[in-house]
Amino acid sequence: MSISTGDKLPEATLTRIGAEGPEAVNLSELTAGRKVVIFAVPGAYTPTCHSAHVPSFIRTKDDLAAKGIDEVICVSVNDPFVMGSWGEATGASAAGIAMLGDAEATFTKAIGMEFSAPPAGLIDRSKRYAMVVDDGTVILLQEEENPGVCEVSAGEGILAAL
Under a CB-based contact definition with an 8 Å cutoff, are residues 133 and 114 in contact? no
Q: Exposed (0-12), middle (13-18) or buried (19+): which is 63, by Cβ within 10 Å?
A: middle
Distance of CA 157 to the CA centre of its chain: 14
| Residue 104 DSSP SS3 | coil
Residues tagged active-site: 49
Buried b (16+ CB within 10 A) or exposed e, 65-93: eeeebebbbbbbbbbbebbbbbbeebebb
